[in-house]
């Protein structure tokens, strides 16, 4: 889980090999071009946002990076090495974890079981669950991210939306070797909870995590991200450094107006 | 980078403290027996006290009678343990009653024609076959388990009736009867030993092993379970096979206990098993279950049945009483979050 977090991602970042490189990726569904050609990269300790109107190709791009769809052309590189993601488990194996807006958690289970869902710590030969260890690790993972829950044994259903998304992000960060992909992580949350989750996302950069954030919420994108890629009609219509741009110019890029 | 300072650090504490209480309670020391599940143990204790007082002259407390209650609970408990997996995985199996009858009939027929070992294998094989058909219908053909097992219920009933033209078959193998139900090892009934064995395996597998965690996750949120790599099809198939195997074993135990097999065996067991499991605290909508609760539920229903018989109620009246008990149990055990 440790990686070199140089934090130097202003101007000189391009020298390093990106955690994720999307290279001229396109996707056709039958005769329809969903994604014509998209290239982007994400470095460690960096939050890169993808914005775009409905139908711009965001969800197709997410699915390709998550391993749920295969690109028709182009390639994905992790740490500069070409990878083939035929299914979501391939993406996970390469260290890509996805946080969905609809909170892919098992609500009736306790937090620690969700944290280790599908990757439980067990003792062979009977594959007995090491519940105590999983709870202890859950506590420390969430404490590091400043996500407050009553107990690792709390049933997820009893948590607030923000706490749940905190758990989902904690899980993604814990298992993501290379990249956390967030698909509208606060779309289902209220104002306060959104603020809380945004704090958690900011913390990821400080920890050296590479984060790709897909969001409709431009204010959020400008609060959180280091760079922004604007998608329009399946291509990158613009790529800006957040600090040097403004929501107004981003909107212009999104809508295609000048 | 701009504007991140807008996020005030104290927002988080406000959010977290607001929802502390319900979850803090659910983290009590006997985690697997959550508070809703405690109802069954209290009810069991209360029922025992009430019957002990009201039915003291009918011999409720006699050793023989208490023994009978446990033995009656045993076959139901065997099925209930497997059924916890089924419900927790978000499935249902309506075919267990006919599987009981079918396996008993097949076992009896095979015992008569080919002897002990073949009889046992044929009985368990029947369970495996029914379970495999159910599993294939659900996971390969994509038919909801409610409909798939409704169909196999009907098929199983038909087969059980046709095996000996509605006639009862004798189970006259002493060895078989000893192993499956009538006999005893070191003074302990083999029926009871079977129940303990099944319950112990189910308890560990459901509460302590990875299998149980994957079953609960599958029933809780199938999409999320699949997204993290849990093989949900395999889980759904497995629970249906467990349930059919347990029903087959129960049929074999009935046959051993009464030393004969009939197509009517297990006819009313589906309702009793579901009631025992639900009363025990397992969620009908998946994601949660408890083996000890299912065991207590089985004993509770057997005790109730026994008490009502001692009290002189007819079979018809008992049936009404069972229905009422189920409704009460479901209301008391209802998920508070779901109703709010």
Task: Count CB-CB contacts under 10 A for residue A188.
Answer: 15
Q: Which of A168, A159, A67, A39 is nearest to A114 (CA)?
A: A168
Q: What is the mean pLDDT of residues B234-253?
A: 97
Distances, alpha carbon A13 to alpha carbons A16, A21, A41, A51, B115, in Å = 6, 13, 11, 21, 78
User: What is the rounded average pLDDT of the residues B102-111?
Assistant: 95
pTM: 0.85
**Residues B245-255: pLDDT tens digits?**
999 999 999 99
Instruction: Show the tokens assigned to A240.
Output: 């800006």
Chain B residues closer than 8 Å to A129 by CB: 208-210, 213
Structure token pair of residue B291 = 């083996």
Gap from B221 CA to chain A (nearest CA, Å): 5
What is the arrangement of strands in the sheet containing A235-241, beginning at the earlier edge strand? Answer: A81-83, A73-78, A20-29, A32-42, A235-241, A227-232, A46-52, A210-214, A179-183, A96-99
- Measured over the CA atoms of residue B270, residue B271, residue B274 and residue B280, the dihedral's sign is negative
Q: What is the mean pLDDT of residues B26-38?
A: 49
Q: Do B208 and A128 touch (CB under 8 A)?
A: yes
DSSP codes joined into one string, B175-229 = HHHHHTTS-EETTEEHHHHHHHHHHHHHHIIIIIBHHHHHHHHHHH-HHHHHHTT
| pLDDT (tens digit per residue) in A95-123 | 999 998 776 899 999 999 999 999 999 99
Is the pLDDT assigned to residue B335 strictly greater than 80?
no
List, for chain A, all residue ranges whose pLDDT scores fall below the cut of 70: 1-14, 103, 258
Q: Quick check: helix, strand or coil at residue B168?
A: coil
Q: Which of A118, A158, A223 sits opposite B19 (nearest CB)?
A: A158
Q: In this structure, what token pair is assigned to residue B209?
A: 């092993």
Dist. CA A116–CA B71, nearest whole Å: 40
Looking at residue A105, its pLDDT comes to 92
Phi, psi of B92 (to 5 degrees): -145, 150
Instruction: Return the pLDDT at A144.
Output: 87
Residue B7 has pLDDT above 80, yes or no: no
Query: Is B193 in contact with B70 (CB distance < 8 Å)?
Result: no
Is the Cβ–Cβ distance between B207 and B291 less than 8 Å? Answer: yes
CB-nearest partner of A153 from B7, B31, B210: B31
Mean pLDDT over residues B282-290, rounded? 91
Work out the average pLDDT over B251-275.
92
Radius of gyration, alpha carbons of chain B: 22
Q: Supply φ then ψ for residue A241, to 5 degrees.
A: -80, 125
Q: How far is the alpha carbon of B179 from chain A, nearest alpha carbon, in Å? A: 27
**Tens-place pLDDT, residues B295-324:** 999 999 999 989 999 989 888 888 888 788
Q: Which of residues 134-173 of A touch B (CB under 8 A)?
A: 146, 148-151, 153-155, 157-160, 162-163
Q: Do A222 and B2 touch (CB under 8 A)?
A: yes
**Highest mean pLDDT (candidates A197-206, B30-39, B137-146, B316-325):** B137-146
For residue B163, the tally of other CB atoms under 10 A from its CB is: 18
B287–A108 C-beta distance less than 8 A = yes
Nearest by CB: A202 against B4, B11, B227? B4
* Residue whose C-alpha is closest to residue A123's, from A134, A136, A135, A139: A134
pLDDT cut 70: percent of chain B above it: 86
Q: What is the ipTM of this complex?
A: 0.82
Instruction: Tell me how far apart the alpha carbons of residues B135 and B307 are, in angstroms, rounded to a whole number.
Output: 38
Query: Where does residue A80 fall: left (phi above 0), alpha (psi -120 to 50 degrees), or beta otherwise?
Result: left
Q: Is the peptide bond before A213 cis (omega within 30 degrees of 0)?
A: no
Chain B: nearest CA to A52, how far in angstroms?
20
Residue B25 half-sphere exposure toward CB, CA atoms < 13 A: 7
* Per-residue confidence (pLDDT) for residue A103, from 0 to 100: 65
What is the spatial distance between Cα B287 and Cα A244, in angstroms, rounded to a whole number?
A: 49
Taking alpha carbons only, the member of B251, B105, B218 closest to residue A113 is: B218
Task: Give the list of residues 6+ apart from residue A224 with CB closer than 8 angstroms, or none.
Answer: A47, A49, A198, A201, A202, A213, B4
The DSSP symbol for B92 reads -
Distance from CA of B5 to the nearest CA of A (A): 9
Structure tokens at A62: 């997410």
Decide if A107 and B1 are in contact by the 8 Å CB cutoff. no
Over residues B87-95, mean pLDDT = 97
Tell me if residue A233 falls in helix, strand or coil: coil
List, in order, residues 6 or more apart from A137 with CB less than 8 Å away: A112, A115, A116, A121
* Per-residue pLDDT at A45: 94
Residue with tokens 């994601």: B287
How much is the average pLDDT of B56-64?
89
Query: In which element (H, E) is residue A256 found?
Result: none
Instruction: Pick from A47, A108, A219, A220 the residue to mutate for testing the B interface (most B CBs within 10 Å).
Output: A108
pLDDT band at B340 (very low <50, low <70, confident <90, very high): very low
pLDDT exceeds 80 at position B45: yes
| Chain segment B156-183, per-residue pLDDT in tens | 999 999 988 888 888 888 888 889 978 8
Whether B16 sits inside 8 A of A148 (CB atoms) is yes
Q: Name every chain A residue with its beta carbon within 8 A of the beta carbon of B337.
A: 157-158
- The helix/strand/coil state of A47 is strand
A 69-128 near B (Cβ less than 8 A) = 88-89, 92, 98, 104-110, 113, 117-120, 122, 126-128
Put simply, the answer to whether A158 touches B27 (Cβ < 8 Å) is no
Which chain A residues are Cβ-neighbours of B11 within 8 angstroms?
A: 192, 195-196, 199
> How big is chain A by its Cα radius of gyration, in Å?
18
A211 touches chain B (CB under 8 A): no
Average pLDDT over residues B15-36: 41
């Amino acid at each position: 889980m440790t990686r070199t977090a140089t934090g130097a991602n202003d101007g000189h970042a391009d020298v390093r090999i990106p955690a994720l490189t999307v290279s001229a990726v396109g996707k056709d569904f039958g005769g329809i071009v969903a994604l014509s050609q998209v290239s982007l990269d994400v470095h460690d300790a960096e939050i890169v946002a993808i914005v775009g109107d409905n139908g711009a190709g965001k969800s197709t791009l997410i699915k390709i990076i998550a391993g749920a769809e295969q690109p028709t052309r182009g390639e994905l590189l992790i740490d500069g090495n070409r990878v083939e993601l035929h299914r979501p488990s391939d993406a996970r194996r390469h260290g890509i974890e996805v946080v969905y807006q609809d909170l892919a958690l098992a609500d009736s289970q306790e937090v620690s079981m969700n944290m280790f869902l599908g990757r439980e710590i067990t003792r062979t030969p009977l594959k007995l669950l090491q519940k105590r260890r999983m709870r202890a690790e859950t506590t420390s993972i969430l404490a590091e991210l400043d996500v407050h829950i009553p107990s690792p044994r709390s049933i997820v259903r009893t948590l607030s939306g923000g706490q749940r998304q905190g758990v989902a992000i904690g899980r993604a960060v814990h298992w993501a070797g290379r990249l956390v992909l967030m698909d509208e992580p606060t779309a289902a949350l209220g104002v306060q909870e959104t603020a809380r989750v945004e704090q958690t996302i900011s913390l990821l950069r400080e920890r050296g995590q590479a984060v790709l954030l897909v969001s409709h919420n431009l204010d959020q994108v400008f609060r959180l991200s280091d760079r922004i890629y604007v998608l329009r009609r399946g291509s990158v219509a613009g790529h800006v450094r957040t600090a040097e741009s403004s929501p107004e110019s981003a909107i212009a890029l999104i809508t295609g107006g000048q | 980078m701009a504007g991140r300072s807008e996020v005030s650090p104290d927002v988080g504490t406000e959010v977290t403290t607001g929802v502390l209480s319900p979850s803090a309670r659910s983290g009590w020391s006997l985690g697997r027996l959550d508070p809703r599940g405690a109802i069954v143990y209290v009810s069991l204790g209360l029922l025992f006290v009430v019957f002990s007082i009201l039915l003291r002259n009918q011999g409720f407390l006699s050793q023989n009678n208490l023994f009978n209650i446990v033995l009656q609970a045993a076959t139901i408990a065997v099925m209930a343990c497997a059924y916890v997996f089924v419900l927790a995985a978000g499935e249902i199996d309506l075919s267990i009653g006919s599987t009981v009858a079918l396996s008993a009939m097949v076992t009896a027929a095979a015992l008569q024609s080919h002897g002990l070992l073949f009889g046992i294998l044929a009985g368990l094989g029947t369970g495996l076959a029914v379970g495999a058909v159910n599993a294939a219908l659900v996971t390969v053909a994509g038919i909801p388990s409610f409909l798939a097992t409704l169909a196999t219920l009907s098929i199983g009933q038909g087969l059980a009736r046709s095996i000996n033209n509605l006639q009862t078959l004798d189970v006259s193998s002493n060895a078989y009867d000893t192993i499956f139900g009538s006999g005893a090892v070191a003074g302990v009934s083999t029926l009871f030993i079977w129940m303990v064995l099944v319950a112990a395996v189910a308890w560990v597998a459901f509460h302590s092993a990875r299998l149980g965690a994957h079953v609960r996750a599958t029933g809780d949120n199938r999409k999320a379970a699949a997204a993290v790599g849990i093989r949900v099809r395999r889980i759904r198939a497995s629970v249906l096979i467990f349930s059919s195997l347990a029903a087959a074993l129960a049929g074999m135990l009935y046959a051993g206990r009464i030393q004969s097999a009939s197509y009517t065996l297990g006819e009313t067991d589906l309702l009793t098993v579901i009631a025992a499991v639900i009363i025990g605290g397992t969620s009908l909508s998946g994601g949660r279950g408890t083996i000890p609760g299912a065991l207590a539920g089985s004993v509770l229903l057997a005790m109730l049945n026994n008490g009502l018989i001692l009290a002189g109620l007819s079979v018809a009246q008992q049936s009404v009483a069972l229905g009422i008990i189920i409704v009460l149990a479901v209301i008391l055990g209802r998920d508070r979050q779901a109703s709010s």
